[in-house]
Amino acid sequence: MIGRIGFYLVALFLSACVQKPTKIYESKSGFSQKIQQKTRKPLKVTEETVVVDARSRFDFTMAHYPGSSHLLWESFSQAKGRFPGRLVEDLESARKRLQIKGLHPEKPVIIVGYGIDGKGEAGRLAWTLLYLGFDDVQVVGDNLLKPSSNIVNSKPTPNAPFWLLRTRPQLIAKKKQVLEAVTKQLAGPRKVFLFDVRSKEEYFKKEGLGKPYALPDLGAIHVEWKEFYNRQGRPRLTIRKQLKGLGISNDSRIIVLSNRGIRSAAVTAALISLGYKNVSNFADGLESFKK
């Protein structure tokens, strides 16, 4: 009897000593609390902050915030493929690229862009980082976090420690989900809010005089992407009141649309920063309906 008990004790001890395999997991809702808190406060760069410049290579070379790294949203997307808004298939390669640039999911990141004078580049990169598991990402225009042209021998950013991917698939909407949302809203009360964030000219563009719209009318709510950001290139807090007037709450299901999934990604990142928990970017873009 004692021998059998002893055997079980040894087996239990050995099983406890075996290291459990590390899991790559999908982060769920609630990850944006830190982002929301910082969005409501003045921007602050600390010693831990990694500043990333999402502007063009030329503008970065001419002047950039001291110590910042240069990254383009295109580096993580199939920019020259049929669907330029789709992320690259090799996400591990994307992770390594970020690690080399000193980025780590546990470090605060500030992305500098052109603000509303650009085309959503910084917001698109912010959405990419959020998808890859980052929890603390802020976006700002270069008129607030001003570049300096007096940079001499900037030290290279050291590599960040190794980290595992924690993708958030819920931040990407598929075409099937978009079409299902259109069907459901035709059948009854709107359960999924579709936001078309293109310009007014693009939204109302037609193929020719007397012809239908250039892209299918999905019954989406039209709010241009710039409305979600203020002059400093940060998420505009007052947009919440406008969305509330449309019956949209923090828990409402939202899918954001644009031509190629770039500006819609910027709006998705802004909505997450403002506390909306169930928002996705249609990364394929409206132009995919033509293909």
Note the pLDDT tens digit of each residue in 220-238: 999 999 999 999 999 999 9
Give the mean pLDDT of 17-25.
Answer: 39
Q: What is the pLDDT of residue 100?
A: 95
Residue 26, in any domain of the structure: no
148 and 51 inside one domain: yes
- Does residue 25 register a pLDDT over 50? no
Closest C-alpha among 37, 205, 76, 54 to residue 120: 54
Mean pLDDT of all residues in 180-208: 84
Residue 24 lies in a domain: no
Domain final residue, candidates 121, 147, 169: 169
The predicted pLDDT at position 18 comes to 39
pLDDT exceeds 80 at position 126: yes
Looking at the structure, tell me whether residues 164 and 105 fall in a common domain: yes
Using 50, 70 and 90 to split pLDDT, how confident is the model at 191? confident
Looking at the fold, whether 146 and 53 belong to one and the same domain comes out as yes
Work out the pLDDT band at 149, boundaries 50, 70, 90: confident
Average pLDDT over residues 266-280: 97
Domain match, 138 and 109 both? yes
Select, from the ranges 30-39, 97-106, 206-215, the one with the highest average predicted confidence (pLDDT): 97-106
Is 96 found in the same domain as 152?
yes
Q: Is the CB of residue 186 less than 8 Å from the CB of residue 179?
A: no
20 band by pLDDT with thresholds 50, 70 and 90: very low
Name the domain boundary from 142, 169, 196. 169
Same domain, 260 and 184: yes
pTM equals 0.86
Q: Is 8 inside a domain boundary? A: no
**Based on the structure, what is the number of domains in the chain?**
2
The model's confidence at residue 7, banded by pLDDT at 50, 70 and 90, is very low
Tell me how far apart the alpha carbons of residues 260 and 83 are, in angstroms, rounded to a whole number.
7
Predicted pLDDT of residue 98: 97
Angle at 40 between CA 34 and CA 43, to 5 degrees: 85
The answer as to whether 82 is a domain residue is yes
Instruction: Specify if 22 maps to a domain.
Output: no
Asked if 123 and 240 sit in the same domain, the reply is no
Whether 23 is in a domain gets the answer: no
Domain membership of residue 177 (yes or no) is yes
Residue 57 pLDDT > 50, yes or no?
yes
Separation CA 101–CA 150 (nearest Å): 22
- The pLDDT value given to residue 146: 84
Indicate whether 237 and 210 sit together in one domain. Answer: yes
Taking residues 16-42, what's their average pLDDT?
Answer: 62
Give the separation between CA 254 and CA 276, rounded to whole angstroms: 9
Query: Are 164 and 179 in a shared domain?
Result: no
Q: 194 is in which domain, residue-wise?
A: 170-290
The pLDDT of 267-272, averaged and rounded, is 98
With cut-offs at 50, 70 and 90, classify the pLDDT of residue 153. low
Same domain, yes or no: 163 and 97: yes
The last residue of a domain, from among 169, 188, 221: 169
pLDDT tens for each residue of 101-120: 999 999 999 999 999 999 99
Backbone angles phi, psi at 143, to 5 degrees: -85, -15
Q: What is the CATH number of the domain that holds 204?
A: 3.40.250.10
In a domain, 18, yes or no: no
Band (pLDDT 50/70/90 cuts) for residue 17 is very low
Query: Residue 93, class by beta-carbon neighbours within 10 Å (0-12 exposed, 13-18 middle, 19+ buried)?
Result: exposed
Structure confidence at residue 245 (pLDDT): 94
